[in-house]
Structure 1
Amino acid sequence: MNVNELREKRTKLWEGAKAYLETHRNEKGTLNAEDDAAYNRMMEDMDALGKEIKRMEKQEALDKELNLAISTPLTAKPQTGAMAEKKGRASDGYRDAMLVALRSQFKQVRDVLQEGVDTDGGYLVPEEYDSRLIDILNEENIMRNLGHKITTSGDHKINIAATKPAAAWIDEGEALTFGEATFSQTLLDAHKLHVAIKVTEELLYDNAFNLESYIITEFGKALANAEEDAFLNGDGTGKPLGLFAETGGGTLADTLTTGIKSDDMISLIYALKRPYRKDASFIMNDQTLIALRKLKDTNGAYIWQPSYQAGEPDRILGYAIHTSAYAPKDAIAFGDYSYYNIGDRGTRSMSVLRELFAGNGMIGYVAKERVDGKLILPEAVQILKLGA
């Protein structure tokens, strides 16, 4: 059966389902249990056909793409047509000039780099490079995937409703009562984070070595690790304020004096207010997960549920688990981490340190960024402190 036949079958099934619904409603306009079950089965068949149609459409597209790649060999020079000219830090000239500057220890600095001079010395990373740094930060840092990212040009103020108006019953003709809605503010600042590495002159001048990828990858991993540690444990002094911070972090749900039990995990889930539970998940250390994997419910079933689908996280009691080497071993966080705001101030910059390591025949490179992070609603994340 081809995709067109499946579409026709799905259309007929939909028309039949609509007709069935109209002819089986009772005087109240609803369906009885038997008719409702029959209608739901029709909808399940509709969904199944829809998934199969999408699967076949994707298969046809892949077949077409692969056949095209085989049947139409490349005979012309790529990108010979007219293309929109890239300007500024996105231009090819800026990217090439940055690579030349890196290899020449910033002796061959072209005019095209002047627009990227950083206030602290050094040059702003070209847009292509900066995008790849962001990719590495997102991949290595769980909080950049879970939190809410903001790009700021200055101190970023976030308004928070401190009190909300409440409704009240009144009799006819009775005077209205007025409540006051007040607001507070939290501020996202910009803390400087840097990473420095040394490379030998041999690597620097070896054209076969992909210097730019090496530097960007190493810088990205180092920045991501430092960020994740701060986003989880930072005290807000010279660094972001972390989720697990004693003051300004998540709300303390409970402190256990004994080993953790299944009931403690259930209590943690329901310590979080219902609106936040919809998108909530756990954050914990790998060592903590070892203890949780051994817990069972009253029926003897493990509360830990492994993922059977690639890319999907494991779950506990239906909620996703995210592990981090930087999460404390004596605490578990549960909440909606979209209320953790991450503020990136501008772009990242790179500079070279030549004289410092000249005696060792090495060149130093430094990447810098300014970033802040803060949980703007502490009630959106609940923290369970663990006992021995």
Structure 2
Amino acid sequence: MTILELREKRAKAWEATKAFLDSHRNDKGVLSAEDDAAYTRMEQEITDLGKEIDRLERQEALEAELNRPVNKPLTGKPMNGKEDTKTGRAADEYRQNFWNMMRSKAPMPTVLNALQIGTDSEGGYLVPDEYERTLVEALEEENVFRQLAKVIQTSSGDRKIPVVASKGTASWIDEEGVYTESDDSFAQVSIGAYKLGTMIKVSEELLNDSVFDLESYIAREFARRIGAKEEEAFFTGDGTGKPLGILTASGGAETGVTAASATAVTADELMDLFYSLKSPYRKNAVWVLNDSTIKAIRKLKDNNGQYLWQPSLVSGTPDTILGRPVKTSAYMPVIAAGAKTIAFGDFSYYWIADRQGRSFKRLNELYAANGQVGFLGSQRVDGKMILPEAVKVLVQKAGSAG
């Protein structure tokens, strides 16, 4: 079944689910235990179809990547000299020698000489430029936050970002009156770099097997481990030894709505959250919430009787709430007392600073007794909310009763 067919099937299932919900609610607006169980089964089918659509879209993207030509066509005439004009860490020679170093227990002196340009301060080797882009892409695939935030590159030291703290205003002036002074005031946000690392162990047999794709394996593992830890910090980090997350009380997103219940969200509260965000931010705003919260708000309608959550029929287009895209993350809190369960806003005002180059170091002796070789992968990264008013959050009631 194609992705489009699955989307159409999910849309039909959603229409049937809505019809069932509307026709089986009692005079109090709730379902009986038996009807609620039936509704839950119908909703689970929608959730399962959504997961299958996401899976097929990822598979389609991977196949497109694998089917890309690996060689450039010959466009020049013979004897025109070498085509590769890249230098430094972008050069083919550097890339080849980097992976020779990763695979070889005792690299040749010529390999080490070629890697001098990419030696980092802690004795590791900076990954080749093109491979680094692969890592960044892998991180973005694994990490929903990188898809939404603004990513910048820093070299060394803190990056000072000027921010307008308050804007000047105009005023009416009488004839020959005095102009009222009203200047913008400026603040600055400082972004540094925190170290995030992981260790990957590979057996010597696999390492020496030329068929084993070491590059893809490391990129995939790096993305899975680092991406998950990054995303958690971008949401909930306290700024101590890690980035300052968007949900932190000081320096994070602003509270837009406090729910009347500790265990539920109403349609009016979602609309209040939508309009608590200033209109200039709303045009690029995205909803971010936990999968379990999506299930809780699927039953909600607006004042015209239209359901707030709408499934997408177009491949690559996300589902929507009140016409704005929906993204989910496991690191957004589930509905509970005092939890910040829904974020809505323009996440490009959260800046992620990558300290350019990711580094790998090979450990030959540490796991030699087990017939394994270790690889240390690390990067330096920071993240901060530049304008807190650009993202609003919904906070559940602090009490235990709803």
TM-superposed CA distance for 1:78, in Å, is: 9.0
Q: 1:350 aligns with which of 353, 360, 363?
A: 360
Letter in 2 for 1:197: I
**Please, what TM-score do these two structures have when normalized by structure 1?**
0.77
Rate the CA distance shift 1:113–1:170 in 2: closer, same or farther, 3 A. Answer: same
Query: TM-score if structure 2 supplies the norm length?
Result: 0.75
Q: Report deviation, 1:79.
A: 7.8
Q: Is the 8 A contact 2:259 2:265 kept in 1?
A: yes
Structure 1 position 196, deviation (Å) = 1.0
- Could you tell me how far apart the structure 1 residues matched to 2:369 and 2:75 are? 45
Q: Which residue, out of 280, 301, 304, partners 1:296? A: 301
Q: Could you report, residue by residue, the CA deviation over 1:77-136 in whole angstroms, capped at 9, with x for unpaired residues? A: 898754242221111111111111111136444311111111011101011211100110
Contact 2:84 2:91 in 1 (8 A): no
Question: Is 1:312 paired with 2:297?
Answer: no
1:85 maps onto 2:85 in alignment: yes
Displacement of 1:213: 1.3
- Range with greater deviation from structure 2 (287-296 or 105-114): 105-114
Instruction: Trace 1:36-51 onto structure 2 (pairs within 5 A).
Output: none
| Larger of the two Rg values belongs to structure | 1
Question: What's the counterpart of residue 31 of structure 1?
Answer: none
| Structure 1: tracts of 5 or more residues without a match | 1-73
| Contact kept? 2:100, 2:107, Cα under 8 Å | no
2:199 maps to 196
Q: Measure, in 1, the Cα distance between the counterparts of 2:259 and 2:187.
A: 33
> C-alpha separation between the residues in 2 aligned to 1:374 and 1:321?
22
Residue 351 of structure 1 aligns to a residue in which SS?
Answer: strand
- Which residue does 2:132 correspond to in 1? 130
CA distance in 1, matches of 2:376, 2:105: 12
Give, in whole Å, the separation in 1 of the partners of 2:136 and 2:386.
Answer: 23
- Following superposition, the deviation at residue 240 of structure 1 comes to 0.7
| 8 Å contact kept, 2:287–2:325 | yes
Distance 2:117 2:396 in 1: 52
Contact 1:164 1:180 in 2 (8 A): yes
Deviation at 1:182, TM superposition (A): 1.5
Deviations 1:278-330 (A, max 9, x none): 11111111111111112122343321010111111100011111101111223
The alpha-carbon distance between structure 1 residues 251 and 123, as it changes in their structure 2 partners (threshold 3 A), is same
Equivalent runs, 1:133-212 vs 2, <5 Å = 133-153=135-155, 154-212=157-215
CA drift at 1:221:
2.2
Alpha-carbon distance in structure 1 between the residues aligned to 2:239 and 2:189: 13
Q: Distance in 2 between matches of 1:185 and 1:293?
A: 41
What do you get for the CA RMSD once the two structures are aligned?
1.9
Q: CA deviation at 1:260?
A: 0.7
Contact 2:237 2:244 (8 Å CA) reproduced: yes
Instruction: Label 1:80 to 1:113 Cα distance change in 2 as closer, same or farther (>3 A).
Output: farther
Q: CA deviation at 1:214?
A: 0.9
Count of residues in correspondence between the two structures:
314
Q: CA–CA distance in 2 between the matches of 1:196 and 1:141? A: 19
Over residues 246-282 of structure 1, what are the superposed CA-to-partner deviations in whole Å (9 max), with x where a residue is unaligned?
2211001222242211111000001111111111111
Other-structure match for 1:226:
229
Residues 254 and 368 from structure 1, CA distance in 2 versus in 1: closer, same or farther, beyond 3 angstroms?
same
Letter in 2 for 1:126: P
2:254–2:391 contact (8 Å) kept in structure 1: yes
The correspondence of residues 103-122 of structure 1 with structure 2, limited to 5 A, is 103-105=103-105, 107-108=107-108, 109-122=111-124
Counterpart of 2:154 in structure 1: which amino acid?
A: T
Pair 1:328 & 2:338 matched: no
Identify the residue that residue 99 of structure 1 maps to in structure 2. Answer: 99
Is residue 84–residue 92 contact of structure 2 (8 Å, CA) maintained in 1? Answer: no
1:253 maps to which of 248, 253, 256 = 256
Which residue in 1 is equivalent to 2:291? Answer: 286
TM-superposed CA distance for 1:212, in Å, is 1.6
What is the match of residue 384 of structure 2? Answer: 374
Judge conservation of contact 1:200–1:362 (CA < 8 Å) in 2: yes
Q: Which letter does structure 1 place at the counterpart of 2:123?
A: G
1:163 deviates by 2.0
Is the CA contact 1:106–1:352 (under 8 Å) kept in the aligned structure 2?
no
Where structure 2 has 5 or more consecutive residues not aligned to the other structure, the ranges are 1-70, 336-340
* Number of the residue aligned with 1:30: none
Contact 2:302 2:308 in 1 (8 A): yes
State the match for 2:48 in structure 1. Answer: none
* 1:384 aligned to which of 367, 374, 394: 394
1:220: Cα distance to partner? Answer: 2.1
Q: Deviations over 1:54-99 (max 9, x none)?
A: xxxxxxxxxxxxxxxxxxxx9x989875424222111111111111
Percent of pairs identical after alignment? Answer: 48
Query: Does residue 225 of structure 2 align to residue 215 of structure 1?
Result: no
